[in-house]
């Protein structure tokens, strides 16, 4: 099926090279709060701990610095920055945080972001989606229907992710399009790490089909409000499992 060839599985970038390996270990530690803000690390010490040369360690620190997770200053060391400085939109940071302890809070703030963005994106998609995108969209919706019963969660997830990706891409807005990875992480996290014994809610499935129809019909306001229902439903579902105002 050529339609999905545009979604290669390059979602996660495993630590290539020594510096990547170090990052994959040190990054999650920091985002998990293992080193509280203000903690000071020393490059040399880290290099010894990870058994790599200083050059490699310096490269890793540079990357962490570009994510604003740490700040490197002369005569002081590598200081861990407070959370509100972090580049929380960096896909790698998102992945690290979703893998950590405060996954629920993370999942929630990302879902609230979805609530804001996806309805607007769907409205734009109804305006600008190509015929091919409309076809892909309905195909995904049908795929969701086909996998909506009988505990076929993986198949459902696959089409769900693809569906939302297409919406975000079809909006024609680059900033929206780049949130496709974020949505994918959220949906995957929800499916894999939550109690999901039951099949997906039938209403949600129906809504997806209707969104696909609305987009094809060019009905912007309907596409927007239907998508809002979908994503508000997801938020509600999240609040049921881990309630916090």
Binding residue for DNA (CB under 7 A) from 23, 52, 80, 170? 52
Shortest approach of a copy of itself to residue 16 CB, angstroms?
Answer: 9
What is the 3-class SS of 110-124, one letter each residue? HHHHHHHHHHHHHHH
Interface pick for a copy of itself out of 25, 29, 48, 66 (rule CB under 8 A): 66
Q: Given the complex with a copy of itself, which of 155 and 218 has the nearer CB atom?
A: 218
Q: Which residues contact 200 (CB under 8 A, 6 or more apart)?
A: 144, 148, 156
Q: Which of a copy of itself, DNA, none sits in contact with 41, Cβ below 5 to 8 A by type?
A: DNA
- Using CB under 8 A as the criterion, what x/- string covers residues 76-115 for binding a copy of itself? -------xx--xxxxxx----------------xx-xx-x
Window contacting a copy of itself (CB under 8 A); options: 33-41, 62-70, 158-166, 206-214 = 62-70
53 touching a copy of itself, by CB under 8 A: no
Residue 21 φ then ψ, to 5°:
-65, -45
Among 173, 188, 194, 225, binds a copy of itself (CB under 8 A): 173
Binding to a copy of itself in span 122-161, by CB under 8 A: 124
Q: What is the DSSP letter of 195?
A: -
Q: Which residues contact 90 (CB under 8 A, 6 or more apart)?
A: 67
Q: Residue from 66, 73, 89, 151 that binds DNA (CB under 7 A)?
A: 73
Binding of residue 49 to DNA (CB under 7 A)? no
Locate tokens 């927007």: which residue? 224
As a whole number of angstroms, the distance between CA 25 and CA 161 comes to 28
> Residue 41 forms beta bridges with which residues?
78
Q: Are 28 and 96 in contact (CB under 8 A)?
A: yes
Partner that binds at residue 44, options DNA, a copy of itself, none, CB closer than 5 to 8 Å by kind = DNA
Strands (DSSP E) along the chain, which ranges?
40-41, 70-73, 77-80
Cα separation, 214 vs 226, whole angstroms: 9
Q: Interface residues with a copy of itself (CB under 8 A)?
A: 19, 55, 58-59, 62-63, 65-67, 83-84, 87-92, 109-110, 112-113, 115-117, 119-121, 124, 173-178
């Amino acid at each position: 099926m050529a339609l999905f060839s545009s979604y290669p599985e390059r979602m996660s970038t495993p630590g290539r090279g020594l510096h990547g390996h170090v990052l994959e270990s040190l990054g999650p530690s920091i985002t998990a709060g293992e080193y509280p803000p203000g903690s000071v690390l020393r490059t040399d010490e880290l290099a010894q701990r990870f058994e790599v040369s200083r050059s490699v360690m310096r490269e890793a620190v540079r990357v962490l610095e570009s994510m604003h997770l740490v700040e490197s200053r002369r005569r002081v060391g590598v200081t861990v920055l407070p959370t509100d400085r972090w580049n929380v939109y960096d896909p790698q940071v998102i992945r690290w945080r979703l893998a950590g302890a405060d996954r629920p809070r993370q999942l929630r703030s990302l879902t609230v972001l979805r609530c804001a963005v996806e309805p607007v994106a769907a409205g734009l998609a109804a305006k600008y989606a190509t015929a091919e995108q409309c076809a892909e969209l309905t195909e995904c919706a049908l795929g969701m229907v086909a996998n909506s019963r009988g505990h076929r969660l993986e198949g459902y997830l696959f089409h769900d992710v693809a569906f939302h990706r297409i919406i975000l891409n079809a909006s024609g807005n680059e900033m929206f399009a780049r949130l496709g990875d974020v949505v994918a992480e959220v949906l995957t996290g929800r499916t894999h790490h939550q109690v999901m014994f039951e099949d997906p809610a039938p209403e949600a499935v129906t809504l997806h089909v209707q969104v696909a129809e609305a987009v094809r019909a060019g009905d912007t306001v309907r596409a927007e409000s239907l998508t809002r229902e979908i994503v508000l439903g997801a938020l509600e579902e999240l609040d049921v499992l881990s309630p916090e105002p």
